[in-house]
Amino acid sequence: MKGSNLLAVLLLIAVLVTACAPKTAVVPTEPAVVEQPTVVEKPAATEVPVEASWTFPTENVTLEIWWHEYGPFTAYMEEMIPKYMELHPNITVNVTKVSSADLNQKLSAAIATGTGPDILDQDASYYVQYYEKGVLEPLNLDVWGAKSYGDVIENYLPGGADAGIFDGKIYSLPYQGNSMSLWISNKLFVAAGLDPVKDAPKTWEDMINICPKLKIVDGNVTKQKAFDFPYHSARWQLQQFQPLTEQFGGELLSADGKTVALNSPAAVSALTLWKRVTDACGDPQTTMNTGSNPNQDFIDGRLAMWITGPWATPQITASEFVGDQFTVVGLPQVDPTNPRTMVYGWEWAVNADRPEINKQVAWDFIKFVLASPEEWLAKAGFVQPVKGLLETETAKTFPFLSVHLKDVETATWYIRSGKVNEISLAVGAAIEAVVYDNVNPQTALDAAQAEAENALK
Amino acid sequence: MSQKLSITQRINFPHSFKLTAPRQQMLFGYLILLPTLVIIFVFRFYPMLQAFYISMTDYDLIKSPEFVGLSNFIDLLKDPLFLNSAQVSLTYVFFSVVPTWIISMGLALLFNRHIWFKNLFRSAVFMPVIMPSVVMALVWTFMYHQQGVVNIILGWLQISPIPWLRSSSTALWAVILIGIWRASPYFMVIFLAGLQAIPSDFLDAAQIDGANSWQSFLYVKLPLLKPTTLLVIIMSIITAMKVFAVPLIMTNGGPANSTRVLPLFIYQTAFEFFDMGRASAMSIFLFAAVMIITVFQIRLFSAGEDE
Amino acid sequence: MKKGASNLLSVRIIKKILVYAALVLAAFVCLLPYYWMISSAFKTEVNIFRLPIQWFPDPINWMSFVKGWQAQNFPRYFFNSFFVSIAITIGTLLFASLAGYSLAKFRYPGRNIIFIIILSTMMLPLEVTMVPLFLLIKNFGWQNSYMGLIVPFLVEGFGVFLMRQFILGIPRDLIEASRMDGASEMRIFFQIIMPLCKPALAALAVFTFREAWDMYIWPLIIVSKDDLRTVPLGISLFMGNYGTAWDQLMAIATVGTLPMIILFFLLQRAFIQGITMTGIKG
């Protein structure tokens, strides 16, 4: 074949291949195959009769939602979405699931190019940034059918909705408000001659005292750890460092979010305690935890005590070693009469950069989806920080829900600042320097303070 | 002798323009370069220019960029975190690239001989290139565990376990080892291709003249491998400067910032701190460093190029 | 004489042993993580994290492949990955060779500048060029489309660089001789240059396919439709915020490496090809 003809043909093929690619058909995706706990089926929330200040639009609207992939969560959403579309045939809901590690980058790039979704799903700490930059659309009271923001906030536990409130208005609502409490592996306690309930530590000193019984070292191999702090993510580290600092009477971030105090005496005491506890109870060098399986050590029976949230319940219950042989008690305290804990959450919000009608339908959709906290608990294992959850049927069968909720009541939200990522990385680096390299806590935190101040400038 | 007109001859030029043979060739040269030029200029060079511009602005990905001149660059030079990342990156580049050159060249020479089961060995050695980066990072994370594969093997050699990812003095070496592991087969393949292209006449002639294998390497292969070597040096530096997946997934820059290579810091600055202006400025520093090395290498190697 | 001969023999034997020892060591080191990935695919999740580590899966878990495959729409994802990777590979082989030939064997003003510019486009990390590029793609209307996934990567600096360096080594005389014989430029390219470049083309094909297959961040940000997802994005969905289906992840990741392995085997012969260039004037 003549060379020039061949070239022409190849170029033609290349053009055809790229330009005439098959139009992507809408392929219904398989819902994730996941075990569901058997549950008393409550009918989906019916529409709350709304004063006729807002009527549901009749034109066709397509909503885009992005959320972070998690089996039970995705399964529940994929149950609710068809119901909503049935209720409102003119609405189409398009979903994109993203691995949570990637969600931030995808959202940021999308917002920067004006291609973001209608409904955002993000960790509450990001919404400070988004609010400050005008990305969020406040809750539409007419759509919601409420007279004031206060009415909506009333439904939540004290402080439960705080992370989404800016300037007195609601900009996001939590579908998860998690406190981190202390989980005990019953089998390991019993094997050490301890009672999982009576001997569960209430204070950090208690913990240091029982650790020798639970930490098993053989030669230079740590076979079992009594307790360990997290090392797989700076965010987790800050989430546990924050209440510890508050337990010593300090505050990491001022109320106005403008000053940071990472090297205060309270913070230094917190880090010193962290190191003491780690030396007595744990071994950060032997951990199988990673960012996407943070509870692995506990699940595998290599860790007797671990701090994590209620969302871990389905995973831990399904595990081979632990199963339902666990106890949850409140976060250990420095001073049990003045408990300080931490709550963080994931929240839904609406993108302000979308057509008005999309935004209205979006809030209506959020209201629909959030309507049954009991179902969220039963099907996704997520605790909405709302009133009345504890009294429901499901709550009674959810292990230790009262403990989780009690820790939510005494909690401060994970620090809310536009610079939360810089701060968590700075704190994480300080913690690692102290734990891995035996750096002096004051020195390490001074460095963290300098970094954070630099970021806040 | 065919009378068929070539592509360039078929173009109708103004009568005054003499289509001499050299001009014809020049035109042909431009023509076949065109598709590549268009794609690279539109999709690579233009965004690159925009990134240059953004580096001189304050841009948080949401509000429009605001021009701030050189203040990003000046701030960076005073930022201990940036200087730390620059140092980590340079350390990484040097200690991963030099062993990679040696190992990949050595492996290519080995595979250039007659070997039994050559296909098998070569395929085995090629495996590191095939693994997806994310999975590679995850697998190595487990291999570096205190009681993981690497320490077990060290135990066979009577070496006591190393904390690897759990100490700021060893974590970077863990990352470097992965870099060497991943890059050596990659560049071995390129060296192999280069070696294969050496006409066997030259090698036969050398052998007839009594050269042993070391002399044959030094005086025949190495000089003829110059273009390939230039490619390998520059590409290995560029890829080492851009390494990202492993530090992100395996250590997230830790412990204590010891593996926070520049691309990772750039990514964090852009997408976690929402400071794209600064991130772009950092990239410019990275770019400048690589560019200087590249141009220098090209000059060095151009001294004998066939043109 | 005899002593000299036997010394030579023992030196050769030692050399041979060293060569094979080095090869075995290299193969072992290179295969180990890959073996770890495959064995994890066949282990039950519990055993993946077992300490002391379990070298060989026991019990063997076949379900990881089945469950993993069903967990997401992998048939579609594999199709997408193939389509995109093959398109990019073909484009690169063609355009990079043409460009490499042009830069290596033709003289025209601006040649060196253009080469440096093409090289320079490799030096900025994708993170900072990503947003401007995304905006560009969005303006073309190519987000969420195959065009957006393929066209920006249809040819890259690396490919051009590789081919240029390789073609530099082809003697000018060969080309001049063909010109004197009256061959058209295109014919010279396809019938003289390309066959001589087989090893480089094979290497380029393998690397380009690998890069295209492995692409993660770019598809992540421009794809928001499940039926455009590529395999790496599909695999990432196994990694939840709270737990990961490790056995399934490793299983699908293993399956995901098969295309590369097959491609490499198919191209083995091209790697082997030696070149004899007889008939060249001294």
Q: How far is CA A259 from the centre of its chain?
A: 25
| Tally of structural domains, chain C | 2
User: Are residues C114 and B33, on separate chains, in Cβ contact within 8 Å?
Assistant: yes
Q: How many CB atoms lie within 10 A of CB B13?
A: 12
Nearest to A104 among B7, B63, B272 (CB): B272
Residue that terminates a domain, selected from B9, B42, B67: B67
Residues B257 and B118 in one domain: yes
CA distance B188 to chain C (A): 10
User: Are residues B29 and C108, on separate chains, in Cβ contact within 8 Å?
Assistant: yes
pLDDT at A12 (0 to 100):
47
Residues B86 and B48 in one domain: no
If pLDDT is split at 50, 70 and 90, which confidence band does B18 have? low
Residues C35 and C78 in one domain: no
Residues B96 and B32 in one domain: no
pLDDT at B15 (0 to 100):
61
Q: Is residue C10 part of a domain?
A: yes
Residues C108 and C32 in one domain: no
- Let me know how many helices (H) and strands (E) chain C has, helices first: 16, 0
Residues C195 and C83 in one domain: yes
CA distance A285 to chain B (A): 5
pLDDT at B267 (0 to 100):
92
Residue that terminates a domain, selected from B67, B82, B98: B67
CATH at C152: 1.10.3720.10
Q: Is residue B86 part of a domain?
A: yes
| Contacts with B230 from chain C: Cβ below 8 Å | 165
- Complex ipTM: 0.86
Say if residue A114's pLDDT is above 70: yes
Q: Is residue B219 part of a domain?
A: yes
- Most confident by average pLDDT, A155-169, A440-454, C266-280: A440-454
| A neighbour chains, 3+ CB pairs within 8 Å | B, C
Cβ of residue A441 closer than 8 Å to a chain B Cβ = no
| Tally of structural domains, chain B | 2
Q: Is residue B8 part of a domain?
A: no
Nearest to C190 among A3, A69, A113 (CB): A3
| Contacts with C234 from chain A: Cβ below 8 Å | none
Residues B116 and B259 in one domain: yes
Of residues A303 and B299, more confidently modeled: A303
What are the φ/ψ torsions at residue C18 (nearest 5 degrees)? Answer: -60, -40
pLDDT at B17 (0 to 100):
63
Residues B63 and B89 in one domain: no
Q: Is residue B248 part of a domain?
A: yes
Domain range enclosing C33: 2-41
Residues B134 and B39 in one domain: no
pLDDT at B5 (0 to 100):
64
If pLDDT is split at 50, 70 and 90, which confidence band does B2 have? very low
> Each residue of A62-105: pLDDT tens digit?
999 999 988 889 999 999 999 999 999 999 999 999 988 889 88
Residues C201 and C245 in one domain: yes
Residues B278 and B244 in one domain: yes
Residues C272 and C171 in one domain: yes
Residues forming beta bridges with residue A166, ordered by sequence position: A169
Residues B186 and B53 in one domain: no
Domain range enclosing B83: 72-306
Residues B41 and B148 in one domain: no
CA distance A168 to chain C (A): 31
| Contacts with B63 from chain A: Cβ below 8 Å | 133-134
Residues C259 and C137 in one domain: yes
Cβ of residue B66 closer than 8 Å to a chain C Cβ = no
CA distance B65 to chain C (A): 12
Residues C117 and C12 in one domain: no
> Each residue of C124-140: pLDDT tens digit?
888 889 889 999 999 99
Q: What span, in angstroms and rounded, lies between the C-alpha atoms of B181 and B150? A: 13
User: Are residues B124 and C260, on separate chains, in Cβ contact within 8 Å?
Assistant: no
Residues C127 and C198 in one domain: yes
Q: Is residue B4 part of a domain?
A: no
Residues B121 and B265 in one domain: yes
- Strands A303-308 vs A221-227: parallel, antiparallel or unpaired: parallel
Q: What percent of chain C has pLDDT over 90?
A: 48
Q: Is residue B59 part of a domain?
A: yes
Q: Is residue C136 part of a domain?
A: yes
> Each residue of A353-397: pLDDT tens digit?
999 999 999 999 999 999 999 999 988 889 999 998 888 988 888
Residues C100 and C210 in one domain: yes
Residues C26 and C79 in one domain: no
Residues B35 and B79 in one domain: no
> Each residue of B275-286: pLDDT tens digit?
999 999 999 999
Q: Is residue B90 part of a domain?
A: yes
Q: Is residue C37 part of a domain?
A: yes
Residues C156 and C222 in one domain: yes
> Each residue of B111-122: pLDDT tens digit?
888 778 888 888
Q: Is residue C62 part of a domain?
A: no
Mean pLDDT, chain A, as a whole number? 86
| C neighbour chains, 3+ CB pairs within 8 Å | A, B
Q: Is residue B211 part of a domain?
A: yes
Q: Is residue C169 part of a domain?
A: yes
Q: Is residue C60 part of a domain?
A: no
| Contacts with C172 from chain B: Cβ below 8 Å | 306
Say if residue A6's pLDDT is above 70: no
Full-model pTM: 0.86
Q: Is residue C28 part of a domain?
A: yes
Residues C100 and C220 in one domain: yes
User: Are residues C241 and A302, on separate chains, in Cβ contact within 8 Å?
Assistant: no
Say if residue A8's pLDDT is above 80: no
Residues B122 and B34 in one domain: no
Q: Is residue C237 part of a domain?
A: yes
